[in-house]
Structure formats: C-alpha cells, structure tokens
Amino acid sequence: MKKLFLTASLLLSLNALTYSQELKTVQIDNMKIASESFSLSDNWVTHIENNSVLIYNGRIENNTSDDVKNLTLSYYLLDQDANPDNGQFSGYLVSSILLSKIAKNSNMVGVNIRKSIDEVPPVGKYKSLLLLTDRRDNVLAYKVTRSIVESTNGTLAIFKEQPQTHTVKAPNLHPKVMIDLKEDNAIAFEKDWKVDIDFKNFMVNINGGDITNNTTTDFENVILDVYLTKEDQTTITKTFEGVHIASANINKIDANKKFVDTAVKTNMFTIPESGTYHILLTVSSNDANGKAVRNKRAFTSTIKF
C-alpha cells in the first residue's frame, strides 16, 4: 500500500548574517507584494531570554507557479509608530537567515530564526517585523508580529503590560490535560512506533507502524498528538499531567482501510521546561461529543530536555 508522508518541510535555524545598531530604511512596493503572491503566517512566536532571540513556529507560503530560490527572511525592530503599510520603514536589523528554495504552490513550515545579540537598540519599546526579500532585496512579504520588544539597560525582553505592584505568576508548564479517552480500538496503532523529538530544531518525527480503521465507517479529521508527561501513562485515565507539544492532522481514513508505515514530521508548538519526560502518542477522531482519543502508545523510556 502507498505510504503516507506528512512532511512539515525543512525547518531552518541559522545564525544571523549581520546585526547593526544603526537604523536601516527599507522601501516596500505594496502593489508588487500583492502581485507576487507570497505570504507570512500570523502564528510566529517570539522568545527572548538573556539577549538570545528565537522566532519560531512560522510558515512561508509561495502561491506562485515557480520554485523560488535565494530568499532572505529578516527580523527587524521598529519604532512603535512606524507603519510599513505606508511604503517604507526604518528599523534595526536583528537577524537574517537564507532560504535555499521554496517550491511552487507550497508552504515552508516550522521556520525559525535564532540569534544571540551583542548590541541592542537604544532604550525604548519596539514593534517587531519579519521581512521576506529576494536576492535583489525586493520585498516579497512582511508581517508585524504580535510581540512588543523592550530595550532597557543593554537588555532585550518581551514587553508585557502589568502593574508594577503585582507579582507575575509563573506559567504552568505541566497543566492537567483532560481528554475524552474512548480507546475503543476503532482506530488502532499497529506494529512498532517511534517518536523522535529534535529539541534543537523544534521538530517532532513520528514513525510507524500502521494506523488501521477497524470499522465500517469512514473517519474524518484523524489527528496524531504528542504529549510529554512526568509519569508513565501506560495506564492513563481521562486526566493526566502533561505538555501538549505537537499535533498533525492526517485527515481521513476510509472504512476498513489503513495507512501503512506512517511517517509524520511536524514542528513543536510548545517548549517544555528542562527535565525528564515520558512520551505519549495518541490518535483521535471526532464524534458527536467532539474530539475523542481512539488509541494510544505510551513509551516507558524517558527523554531529557
């Protein structure tokens, strides 16, 4: 039978080409951008700690009929009142990566940029912007991210509005997860399965193994989910403590059919705190009550992050 490959493209993580504390002015032809059919997704995440900048979980879409090579994705900090929609902006270049090729009519997902900053812009608050350019420095797409970055005392940090008298509550990196655990074997994991987590590049590789529909009903919206748990979840109940780190939609499995030697590569959307974890893999589908877990593989071996 035909193998199913769900590949989240090549995740790129390269150091910056240059960084300058001087303002750089960039010209934007918005009419050209509209005609070129490139876009940057809205779901980029920015993490800054100890002047180390990481922008991850992004997607670049090429809606043209041509493979495009030698693109550059850059990360800028702009004054909060800057408006690139006006056709230009001035900002501080923080980091850039080279993209070898984006295939025609396709998405490159799991893109990230990382850079340790030696110099920071002047004191102030900045909006952040991602800029996609070709080898002639023509702007193909741009996206203002959700994060406001603050420069103060030689340090960059994500700015968060909060009263100075309040204590910031630490995020719960091991929330209690509630799932509808049917485990009725309607959809089954068969043969050997393996989950490899590439923390360095924020990728998850799932390799099987077959996924079999044991019923006479087609299952729509079949999803693989990967969790990290402190405890071995071989005897999982409906509630457990864990971190949901990745998900992949494998769409439809027809009645009495199977996916053979399944291979899935997808990007992580949650970064856990350092520690030792077990891995839990589940397969789900929708029913009248919503998403239901049909089967699981709990791995007794541990990994360290």
Whole-number Å distance between alpha carbons of 194 and 280: 11
**Structure confidence at residue 268 as a pLDDT band (50, 70, 90):** confident
Relative to beta strand 276-287, strand 3-7 is unpaired
CATH number at residue 227: 2.60.40
**Structure confidence at residue 13 as a pLDDT band (50, 70, 90):** very low
Task: Flag the least confident range among 10-24, 218-232, 252-266, 287-301.
Answer: 10-24
**Whether residue 182 is found in the same domain as residue 261:** yes
Helices (H) and strands (E) in the chain, counts: 1, 21
CA distances from 201 to 13, 29, 171, 275 (A): 7, 33, 23, 18
Residue 171 within any structural domain of the chain: no
- The pLDDT score that the predictor gives to residue 100 is 78
- The pLDDT score that the predictor gives to residue 127 is 93
Q: Which comes out higher in pLDDT, residue 100 or 19?
A: 100
**Whether residue 123 is found in the same domain as residue 223:** no
Residue 163 within any structural domain of the chain: no
**Structure confidence at residue 169 as a pLDDT band (50, 70, 90):** low
Residue 69 within any structural domain of the chain: yes
- The pLDDT score that the predictor gives to residue 177 is 77
**Is the model's pLDDT at 157 over the cut of 70?**
yes
How large is the average pLDDT for residues 200-216?
85
**Is the model's pLDDT at 260 over the cut of 90?**
no
**Whether residue 25 is found in the same domain as residue 121:** yes
| Other CB atoms within 10 Å distance of the CB of residue 3 | 9
Residue 1 within any structural domain of the chain: no
**Whether residue 68 is found in the same domain as residue 106:** yes
Average pLDDT over the chain, rounded to whole?
Answer: 81
CATH number at residue 125: 2.60.40.10
The pLDDT tens digits of the residues spanning 99-116 come to: 878 888 887 777 878 888
**In which domain, by residue range, is 95 found?**
7-158
Domain count, the chain: 2
How large is the average pLDDT for residues 241-247?
85
